[in-house]
Structure 1
Amino acid sequence: MSDPRDDLVDRIYEAAVLPELWSAVLTDLASYGGADAAVLFTADLDSSRFVTTPNFADSILAYIEEGWFARTDRTRRLLAKRHAGFVTDLDVFTPEEFAREPVFREFLIPRGFGMGAASVINVPTGDQLIFDIERVIERGPIPPDAVARLDSVRPHLARAATMSARLRMQTVRAAAQALETVGLPVAVLGRKGRALAMNQSCERLLREMIHDGPRLVLADPAADRLLVRALIELSTEANASSRSIPLPSRGDQPATVLHLLPIRRAAADLFAAAEAIAVFTPLTAKHVPGLSVLEGLFDLTAAEARVARGIAGGSTIAGLSVEFGTSPATVRSQLKAVMSKTGTARQAELVQLLAGASLPVP
């Protein structure tokens, strides 16, 4: 008969390379720790990043929507404990505090839960992950022997989380370097605009057009304000679209357009933290970009890319309607989508922008 702990450890390491398995691993972890549900989330309390067991999904969504991260210091007490193991609620709250604490009285206990244990794990991206297990209130506090079992697998959770982060970071860096081969300066941005990786072409823009630090900063103040606004939209809007930001020439660098392309989120982003790709294109190219380039840079559909290329080449909506065999209303709708995704408001701006989106001509 197999050992439950060995089976759990095997599944933990399997999830390190297949992040979609974390939900099932959390179910096993909760059971192994004498609990009934579990959630994995980032310690910066970003409500959009978590993985949970199915039976706790509704509760964690309500927790987020009702603003409980800001209404209780449950997580802050855990972080302040700085304990290299699992900590229970009764380790950070006295019995009197527990009885008074609104998150228990008003939220968790009415949902049947109310006793938890959690542990903080640091990953190479600089983020902190929290593994939190929840126990139904009628079963009482999580006992010491269950905490000991959780502590016995914590080193494996830490190594698996670190493996996931490193694998995802390698993917992020590879994506940036791949675009180096076609001459595109690229930076991959994480939460709050921090540069996770940049290729050599992008590094050459340092000092003159961009500054590195806690976040990527544009040297031009007006452009940097637009970047800050775009980053806020990325972190707060589930369907945030691409943004294009003009950068005036500085030093030896020509006028450039920064294309901020969002990376669609998934549970695996807990380990990679990548939010966007920043592509810098100088306004020096003379040719309209190819369809595949347009689709890739601006997340355009094939039809939208054809319209964008046509407009950039001087065609009219009526002319494109005849060429493509569609109605003018359809072309207008596709053009509207193109302008939304490229962050432009007028056709003239779109034409100028796409002139700078071309790849260098061999």
Structure 2
Amino acid sequence: MDASSDTEGMFEAIRRAALEPEAWFDVQERTAAFMGAFSTQLASVDHAHGNATWTRTTRRLEYDDYFCEFMPDAEPVHFAMTHPNWRVFCDYDYIDEPAIARSEFYRLCQSFNLSYRLALRLVDTPDVSRALVFLWRTDQGHAQRQEFEKLGQIEQQLRLAAHVSSTLSDAAVPMRGLLEGLEHAAVAAAILEPGGRVLHANGRAEAIFRAGDGLGVRRGHLEAGHAASSRQLVSLMAGAGRTLRDATGGAGGGTIRIPRPSRRAPYAVTVAPLAQEHRFLAPDRCLLLVLIRDPAVAAATSAAGMRQAFGFTAAEAAVCQIFVRGVAIPEIAARRGVAEATVRQQIKTVMSKLGVSRQAELMRLLLTFEGQ
């Protein structure tokens, strides 16, 4: 493969990264090759909260654990914090070789043979430095004029992709759309992390939490008032999270009943693995869908209910009703009297509407919805 093909592949990876956070792995590898760097690091440092740091370093994954410990007091972080409008910097902007020899941070870097860096700020976020850092080994030396010139060729594209990726990540539109759809179907629903932290909840779920009749949110985490039920809930959420992290394909989750102090009929709470979310400049996280059924409130679970809840077309709802029974795509196409390609496209559209990327995630979500 010639150099022009490599360069075009790099720019294509950058374009994909704007919409696909997981594509930043590819961007790191390709830009490192373009720059002649040994490794790259995506880094986010929150200056307003004690320089809390998240990093992902290629070819030196073990470096990140040590790096985050030393980073809050490191020289490059201090430089970024005291220069809030920084755009690009290298080591020699804030330190010289004698000071490098005395620096605890640089001794750590050199123990991994990562001595020199050139950092590009990706997103102009107040009080937060979010950057792509190119790293060179000791024997390669620090960044020279040619590295700065190369960075200038890709800086604009990287920053644009990062801006789009950051904006989409903050918006979480597909997840909120899913919750709003369930709201229309009279289903109380929330999206949580496996540890119980509530990320999003629709109006029906929020009303249940505010009532505090057996379920509530304390310090941002979902809790059950009944001790035994609370332990069950914690166990269900942890198990569903493991299903996603380990990619076992197992069912995960389940349904439990939560007693209510009011002595009304218990809530039926269903926990299901939803998706593993790839985020920009943050660690991947597992997302759980929690559905809360009050026996006094009827939920729509028919094809019409799916159409109302998720905005499916009649054809998409019909396909989902067959798909959820475990029927393979060729058989669905035969039953529907359409081409397999049509069914595949309908399923792809349905997954897009629900904010999931794999058929296993779609199956879990549809089964959970039907269970209501």
**TM bucket, shorter chain:** 0.5 to 0.7
CA distance in 1, matches of 2:73, 2:156: 21
CA distance in 2, matches of 1:33, 1:73: 24
Mapped contact 1:217–1:224 kept (Cα < 8 A) = no
Q: Classify 1:279/1:199 alpha carbon distance in 2 versus 1 (closer, same or farther; 3 Å).
A: same
CA distance in 2, matches of 1:123, 1:221: 46
Letter in 1 for 2:201: M
- The residue that corresponds to 2:160 in the other structure is 159
Say whether residues 1:63 and 2:88 are aligned partners: no
Deviations 1:86-139 (A, max 9, x none): 333444555345324456445x44554321233455599x99744222112212
Deviations 1:208-240 (A, max 9, x none): 2466797344474957787778878859x9439
Letter in 2 for 1:282: R
- The residue that corresponds to 1:319 in the other structure is none
CA RMSD of aligned residues (A): 5.3
SS of the residue 1:142 aligns to: coil
- The residue that corresponds to 1:35 in the other structure is 37
CA distance in 1, matches of 2:218, 2:159: 27
SS of the residue 2:276 aligns to: coil
Mapped contact 2:198–2:222 kept (Cα < 8 A) = no
Say whether residues 1:140 and 2:141 are aligned partners: yes
Which of 244, 248, 260 is 1:249 aligned to? 260
Say whether residues 1:72 and 2:70 are aligned partners: yes
Which of 181, 187, 192 is 2:190 aligned to? 187
Letter in 2 for 1:69: F
Give the share of equivalent positions with the same residue, in percent.
18
Letter in 2 for 1:95: E
Which of 268, 277, 281 is 2:288 aligned to? 277
Letter in 1 for 2:272: L
TM-score, length-scaled by structure 1: 0.56
- The residue that corresponds to 2:354 in the other structure is none
Which of 190, 198, 215 is 2:220 aligned to? 215
Mapped contact 1:20–1:267 kept (Cα < 8 A) = yes
Deviations 1:259-300 (A, max 9, x none): 44344536456579653234132362899xx9xx9xx9xxx9
Report deviation, 1:16: 1.0
Q: Classify 1:154/1:175 alpha carbon distance in 2 versus 1 (closer, same or farther; 3 Å).
A: farther
- Taking the TM superposition and a 5 Å limit, the aligned residue runs for 1:41-190 are 41=43, 43=45, 45=53, 50=56, 56-57=58-59, 59-60=60-61, 62-64=62-64, 67-73=65-71, 77-80=75-78, 81-82=80-81, 83=84, 84-91=86-93, 93=95, 95-101=97-103, 104-105=106-107, 108-109=109-110, 111-119=112-120, 121=122, 129-143=130-144, 146-147=147-148, 150=151, 153-154=154-155, 156-167=157-168, 169-189=172-192
Deviations 1:17-62 (A, max 9, x none): 2444323322343345452321335555567xx4x6xxx33x11x2
CA distance in 2, matches of 1:272, 1:253: 41
CA distance in 2, matches of 1:270, 1:257: 36
Mapped contact 1:85–1:154 kept (Cα < 8 A) = no
SS of the residue 2:29 aligns to: helix
Structure 2 gaps of 5+ residues are 46-51, 307-319, 327-366
Report deviation, 1:148: 6.6
Report deviation, 1:161: 2.5
Letter in 1 for 2:15: Y
Q: Classify 1:229/1:68 alpha carbon distance in 2 versus 1 (closer, same or farther; 3 Å).
A: farther
Say whether residues 1:200 and 2:203 are aligned partners: yes
Question: How many aligned positions are there?
Answer: 289
TM-score, length-scaled by structure 2: 0.55
Mapped contact 1:88–1:116 kept (Cα < 8 A) = yes
- The residue that corresponds to 1:239 in the other structure is 246
CA distance in 1, matches of 2:13, 2:225: 49
Mapped contact 2:116–2:141 kept (Cα < 8 A) = yes
Q: Classify 1:214/1:172 alpha carbon distance in 2 versus 1 (closer, same or farther; 3 Å).
A: farther
Report deviation, 1:140: 1.0
Mean CA deviation greater in 224-233 or 144-153 = 224-233
CA distance in 2, matches of 1:213, 1:154: 43
Letter in 1 for 2:118: A
Deviations 1:157-191 (A, max 9, x none): 34322322444522222232333344322222369
Report deviation, 1:203: 3.1
Structure 1 gaps of 5+ residues are 303-353
